[in-house]
Structure 1
Amino acid sequence: MADNIGAKVMQGGESAGQFDAACNQVRQRTGARCAAVIVIDGDAGSGYSVVGPLDAQVLLPDILQQIAVTLRGQLTKNLQ
């Protein structure tokens, strides 16, 4: 599987408010301490938002790493 990513997802930009609103909504509806939303090629572009206390946000890099490893394995199986 290629390591290059076609879509660029960046924090901020013109659509940051929309991503923050979506992330806040996810957090509230799930009762979570922290939520992250990643948007790729949405109507308002691509970006991400993380909402929650810093002590919960510091867990995200490791969680995202685990998700990446799992997803790469699933995609590799599906692409064979």
Structure 2
Amino acid sequence: PDGPDAARQGIEAMRAFYRRIGMPTSIPELIGRKATEEEISILADRCSRGGTFTVGYFKVLHRGEMLDIYHKANE
């Protein structure tokens, strides 16, 4: 596989590895509950230094994209 299929397979393989070693793969698994909207906002603010900083090299992430990732990780 290549492209999106390869990426999905890689993500699933990583999740399976994390589960095998007992590592959480979501926010609820990490903290035992879903994070609140306020907590997610705080995480994005800290990561983006209040929206003034981006992270990533291959794909640059802005605060809004960080929020999207945190919301997906909170499912």
Q: TM-score, normalised by structure 2?
A: 0.28
Name the structure with the higher strand share: 1
Give the structure with the larger helix fraction: 2
